[in-house]
């Protein structure tokens, strides 16, 4: 399980570090092998998530979708990317490797809803934080966040309330292609703002925020690194969250997919664990 956690953590870092976006008035030439596709049913769920967190409205049917084979170079604004949105025809182009990656897909959906490039702090690191990935470039575009006074208390993760919710329950592989979420929430219960001192992995200097483990044969795990200081800064009573997107099917060795079976699920923020839950995936 340890090797699997590290492998997935490395993949997660690679995934969030290459998503990019563009707002060209004229769409760039599609990559070799690009194919138009009809978004699966789960994209409707993801679209509604992006609308809800952003407060914007729009129709999923107005977006044109393309996928390119995994391994085919994909660029946006001259930079390597796994996905991008283009304003010309309101199109989203995805590498085949991220078609099932809800955080990446919702990132591009958010651009389609906002109808502009760039990454405002209010949307990508504020309203929709935890629903969409925000890469190094995204954080850079967002600009520095508000300065946190040195007088604000620094606390250990143990001071934070952590909860986990799995949905839908019961879980069936034949409903929405077996899609389900593990939503982990971290809340500051104190009447004052705090900054949480987050742990780091031995293999990385980046602090760890949210994580989960699905324990059992063919289980899965992943974690999130804090790329911006806002991930550790809480106002009084503030709640932060992260949505992990997963699927249950008979191809459980794919990233984010598990086989039908009985599992024990654990989740944490900064190592502070939520109450474990059992999961029966049919």
The one-digit pLDDT tens for each residue of the chain (282 residues) are 443 443 333 344 334 434 556 555 778 888 888 999 999 999 999 999 999 999 999 999 999 999 999 888 787 777 778 899 998 899 999 999 999 999 999 999 999 999 988 899 999 999 999 999 998 889 999 999 889 999 999 999 999 999 999 999 999 999 999 999 999 999 999 999 999 999 998 788 899 999 999 999 888 999 999 999 999 999 999 999 999 999 999 887 778 999 999 999 999 999 999 999 999 999
Give, in order, the Cα–Cα distances in Å from 43 to each of 60, 117, 161. Answer: 8, 21, 31
46 touches 106 (CB < 8 A)? yes
Using CA atoms, how far apart are residues 51 and 90, in angstroms rounded to an integer? 16
Query: What pLDDT score was predicted for residue 117?
Result: 86
> What is the Rg, in whole angstroms, of the alpha carbon atoms belonging to the chain?
19
Query: What pLDDT score was predicted for residue 3?
Result: 38
Using CA atoms, how far apart are residues 234 and 191, in angstroms rounded to an integer? 11
pTM: 0.89
Query: What pLDDT score was predicted for residue 81?
Result: 83
124 touches 230 (CB < 8 A)? no
129 touches 230 (CB < 8 A)? yes
Give, in order, the Cα–Cα distances in Å from 154 to each of 128, 129, 165, 229, 249. Answer: 25, 22, 27, 13, 43
Identify the structural domains of the chain with CATH numbers, from first to last.
17-142 (3.30.2010), 153-281 (2.60.40)
160 touches 187 (CB < 8 A)? yes
Task: Identify the sign of the CA torsion 262, 263, 264, 266.
Answer: negative
Query: What pLDDT score was predicted for residue 13?
Result: 38
DSSP labels, 153-199? EEE-GGGSEEEEEEESSSB-TTSGGGEEEEEEEEE--SSS-EEE---
3-state secondary structure of 206: coil
Query: What pLDDT score was predicted for residue 14?
Result: 39
**172 token code pair:** 């069936």
Query: What pLDDT score was predicted for residue 278?
Result: 96
3-state secondary structure of 87: coil
Give, in order, the Cα–Cα distances in Å from 237 to each of 123, 188, 194, 234, 245. Answer: 20, 5, 10, 8, 26
**31 token code pair:** 């990559």
Query: What pLDDT score was predicted for residue 12?
Result: 41
DSSP 203: T
Query: What pLDDT score was predicted for residue 58?
Result: 95
């Amino acid at each position: 399980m340890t090797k699997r956690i590290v492998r997935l953590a490395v993949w997660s870092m690679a995934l969030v570090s290459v998503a990019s976006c563009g707002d060209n008035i004229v769409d760039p030439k599609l990559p070799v092998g690009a194919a138009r596709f009809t978004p699966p049913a789960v994209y409707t769920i993801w679209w509604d998530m992006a609308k809800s967190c952003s407060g914007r409205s729009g129709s999923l049917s107005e977006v044109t979708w393309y996928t390119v084979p995994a391994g085919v170079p994909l660029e946006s604004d001259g930079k390597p990317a796994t996905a991008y949105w283009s304003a010309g025809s309101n199109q989203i182009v995805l590498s085949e490797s991220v078609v099932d990656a809800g955080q990446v897909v919702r990132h591009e959906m958010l651009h389609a809803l906002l109808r502009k490039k760039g990454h405002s702090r209010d949307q990508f690191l504020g309203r929709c934080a935890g629903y969409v990935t925000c890469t190094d470039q995204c954080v850079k575009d967002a600009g520095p966040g508000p300065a946190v006074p040195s007088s604000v208390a620094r606390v250990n993760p143990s001071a934070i309330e952590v909860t986990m919710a799995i949905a839908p329950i019961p879980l069936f592989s034949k409903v929405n292609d077996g899609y389900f979420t593990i939503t982990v929430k971290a809340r500051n219960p104190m009447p004052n703002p705090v900054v949480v001192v987050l742990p780091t992995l031995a293999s990385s200097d980046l602090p760890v925020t949210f994580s989960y483990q699905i324990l059992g044969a063919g289980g899965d795990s992943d974690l999130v690194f804090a790329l911006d200081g806002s991930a550790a800064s809480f106002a009084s009573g503030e709640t932060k969250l992260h949505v992990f997107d997963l699927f249950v099917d008979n191809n459980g060795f794919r990233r984010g997919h598990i086989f039908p079976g009985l599992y024990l699920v654990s989740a944490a923020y900064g190592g502070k664990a939520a109450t474990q839950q059992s999961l029966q995936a049919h």
